[in-house]
A and B are shown apart, each in its own frame.
Chain A
Amino acid sequence: MESRAARILLRAATYVVLGFLYVPLLVIVIYAFANTRGQTWPPDGFTTEWFSVAFRNHAVRSALWLSLKAGLGATALALLLGTAAAFAVHRFRFFGRETIAFVLVLPIALPGIVTGLALSSAITFGGQVFGLSFGLLTIIVGHATFCVVVVYNNVVARLRRMQSSMVEASMDLGADGWQTFRYVTLPSMSTALMAGGLLAFALSFDEIVVTTFTSGAQTTLPIWIFNQLRLPRTQPAVNVVAMAVILLSIVPVYLAQRLTSETGGALPGAARERNV
């Protein structure tokens, strides 16, 4: 269809854009090993010294720990809420069924500052009324709110592909509702749940705006990085943490992609939810 010249031009443009996408990530990896104090190019030499400096940094370790706790908490909540919503939408017909997906995607579709500001004024308000205070719990509540949609989308997609004859056969063979769920529905959903959970974790682990508004004085890893980046001179340890964060967010996503690759993959669809 396309002429030879057009194909060559398109291929060249593709490589240029791919370069644009990957050079910055490569730069981060190079600086993690760079033996320079500033961010000048090219680096004077290479060292692994900053890895031990970053690891020994108490603030980094406690920020990482808080991020992991918040991520796990938000993921657990999102798995429960997202799966329940997916089953309700898939198995039943009811008034307002079409708006469920809309409401779930809203926290991620609106600008992060709107979601964050809304949650923070609600927490302040709740603080006056119920004695709620900013901390790990409010971070988890905020993160879970925008993570639900990733789990929901993965589970709903899997339920749509599942044959209802499997459930019917199980019931015909005398299994009760719980047994059917435990031995038929759950096993065929497990990879979708894993994928949804991993994506939710990656989303929570990387979140900064909503966290800024819901964490109070607590510092998660993205907030630690942000605070460092606002300083006039960045410490070399930040480069190491940045590289570690890239790996920590890409690995779960890669696993999620592998888990759902037989059903089209979670990535292209999940990209839609990847708003910041």
Chain B
Amino acid sequence: MVVRTVPAAERMAGRRRLSAWLHERPRLRLILLLVPPLGWMVVVYLGALSLLFATAFWRIDPLTSAIERTWGFQNFRTLVHDSVYRVITVRTVGISAAVTVTDIALAFPLAYYAARVAAPKARSTLLVAVTMPLWSSYLVRVFAWKTILSGGGLADWTTRHVLHIGSLQLGASNWAVWLTFCYLWLPFVILPIYASLERIPGSLLEASGDLGAKAWTTFRRVIWPLALPGVVAGSIFAFSLTLGDYITPTLVGNRLFIGNVVFNFVSGTANQLPLGAAFALVPVAIMALYLLVARKLGAFEAL
């Protein structure tokens, strides 16, 4: 025991000296803390992103089929002139918009109920109930819809034997893609709308009523404008997540979306990395535009 205390004391004195030495050098401490995470993000991620961005301006040598590092806009020209890519872009943006609008319509009543009607205990249960599906494996949730919508599945059974309207044959269609996306991103839309509704002071609604506004007028003139930042914040998730996804269209759809085309360009034997990189920038550019508009509407305060 006695023998061991001496080196321990020495070690402690050394540690104290080091700790005091570091204490006097806040810059060094900052650098030690900041270099690993920032270095990682810059080297691994921003480096990779810049490379991708550069690749979009390169081309494939038709003879050797290797990437030729000469700069030019030829990939973007192909994307603009070839009508196939226009159709796919319009389809992707259209489904994204449809998903966004549907999700807002589904999310609003639940968010309103949770924020302003439910008792506090029911409210927290509701929030956990909404968030849990979000974390239960993306792929499995797509699989669930594939199962439900496939021929002879639960959807067919319901329309045939409960509703008696025959099979709607939703499997592998744009309808299936739309429904699955709505399901996947719904919690992302509910949470920011809930947050913005919860923040509205009750006195505002009472004042509106006292001033003679009917329920609909109060909704239109008081609640909706105050909830709008939350609605826009939720729409960012639904829109951007649909825009870049290719797994769901692959599994439940039968048409190509931007993500599918990018994936097909870069995987397997296609060897079209520069064109794929250029097309991958399209959803990024659309989202950048969307975010600019969203910022004008004050959505970032509601995130």
Contact = CB atoms under 8 A, between A and B. Distances in A.
Contacts of B142: 229
B130 to A, nearest CB: 7
A112 interface: yes
A10 B109 contact: yes
A206 B139 contact: yes
Interface of A: 1-3, 6-7, 9-11, 13-14, 17-18, 20-22, 24-25, 27-28, 31, 38-42, 80-82, 84-85, 87-88, 91-92, 94, 100, 103-104, 106-107, 109-115, 117-122, 125, 141, 144-145, 148, 152, 176-178, 202, 206, 208-209, 222, 225-226, 229-230, 234, 238, 242-243, 245-246, 249-250, 253-254, 257, 267-268, 271-272, 274-276
B51 A125 contact: yes
Closest 8 CB pairs of A and B: A111-B244, A24-B144, A122-B48, A13-B109, A85-B37, A118-B48, A177-B19, A88-B33
Contacts of A234: 147
A111 B137 CA distance: 17
Nearest to B49: A118
A205 to B, nearest CB: 8
B34 interface: yes
19 contacts: A10-B117, A17-B110, A20-B183, A25-B141, A39-B153, A81-B36, A103-B41, A103-B45, A104-B37, A111-B241, A113-B259, A121-B277, A145-B45, A178-B15, A230-B250, A238-B143, A245-B139, A272-B303, A276-B138
B175 to A, nearest CB: 15
A112 to B, nearest CB: 6
B134 interface: yes
Interface string B33-64: 11011101110111111011001000000000
Contacts of B241: 111, 275-276
Interface in B84-123: 106-107, 109-110, 112-114, 116-117
B9 interface: no
Interface string B122-165: 00001111111111111111111111101011101100000000
A271 B44 CA distance: 25
B237 interface: yes
Contact of A111 (B47, B140, B243): B243
B16 to A, nearest CB: 5
A103 B46 contact: yes
B283 interface: yes
Contacts of B245: 111-113, 276
Contacts of A145: 40-41, 44-45
Given A21-B130, A21-B133, A208 B55 contact: no
A274 B133 CA distance: 11
Contacts of A94: 30, 34
B112 A10 contact: yes
Contacts of A243: 140
Given A14-B110, A100-B38, A257 B128 contact: yes
A21 B34 contact: no
A176 B129 contact: no
A109 B21 CA distance: 40
A112 B244 contact: yes
A67 B129 CA distance: 27
Contact of B131 (A225, A238, A271): A271
B147 A28 contact: yes
Given A10-B117, A122-B51, A271-B191, 10 more contacts: A3-B215, A94-B34, A100-B38, A113-B246, A118-B45, A118-B51, A208-B247, A222-B139, A225-B139, A268-B127
Contacts of B144: 24-25, 27-28, 242
A25 B152 contact: no
A117 B131 CA distance: 29
Contacts of B146: 39, 229
Interface string B218-248: 0000000000000000000100110111110
A81 B40 contact: yes
Contacts of B136: 25, 246, 249-250
Given A113-B280, A118-B45, A121-B48, A267 B129 contact: no
Contacts of B143: 28, 225, 229, 238, 242
B109 A230 contact: no
A115 B30 CA distance: 28
B217 to A, nearest CB: 14
Given A271-B188, A272-B303, A114 B280 contact: yes
Contacts of A246: 136-137, 140
Contact of A40 (B128, B134, B153, B243): B153
**Most chain B CB within a 10 A radius of its CB, from A38, A84, A100:** A84
B263 interface: yes
Given A113-B246, A230-B250, A104 B145 contact: no
**Most chain A CB within a 10 A radius of its CB, from B45, B133, B250, B281:** B45
B187 interface: yes
A28 B140 contact: yes
A88 B30 contact: yes
Given A41-B153, A253-B132, A120 B139 contact: no
